[in-house]
Amino acid sequence: MTHRVRHRGAGEGTELKAPDAVLTIKIDSADTDGGYEVFEVDAPRGPATPPHQTGWAKAYYLLHGRMIVQVDDQAVDLAPGSAITIPPDAWHTFTVLSPSAGFLVISQTAAMSRFHTDLAAAVPGDVPVTDLGPELAAVLARHRVRLAPTPESGGGGSPC
């Protein structure tokens, strides 16, 4: 496989619904020989997924809106034009402070699109992550994504 030129215009790309956002794959890993992917993310006001770990590195670049990104014990307030890197296995989440936020995610490998494609197929996109049960737990296990323990989960494992 080789890198190839691929153009996707405004409004084009594969759309994936997640409980906390809508992701559009703008550049998929098949176009980059598995090196990276680029997603356009539209997220509503409020907290996203509880803190979680993924095995892939990524970076966020905020296009519009305002959000706080939590990475391990650091919280960063992002305004348009701001960017942040998230190392693999770091605990992270975000909270949108404006009515909505649009940002790009650049992710290493094809892991993020595989995870979100599986997630969109397995769980309803309009149900908060904290309200999902065995379906979510199965998707998380298949992709080695971990949710932070919550008080409701007894302090260990996934809240599901």
Give domain status of residue 140, yes or no: no
Confidence at 153, pLDDT banded by 50, 70, 90: very low
User: Phi/psi of residue 156, each to 5°?
Assistant: -140, 145
Give domain status of residue 54, yes or no: yes
Nearest 5°: the CA angle 21, 23, 28 is 160
User: Which residue segment(s) compose the domain that 67 sits in?
Assistant: 14-112
Name which residue leads in pLDDT, 60 or 137: 60
Name which residue leads in pLDDT, 141 or 153: 141
With both helix axes pointing from N to C terminus, report the angle between 134-143 and 111-122 in degrees, rounded to the nearest 10: 160
* pLDDT per residue as tens digits for the range 113-137: 999 999 888 876 566 666 667 888 8
Confidence at 18, pLDDT banded by 50, 70, 90: confident
Give domain status of residue 106, yes or no: yes
- Here the CATH number for the domain that contains residue 35 is 2.60.120.10
Domains: count for the chain: 1
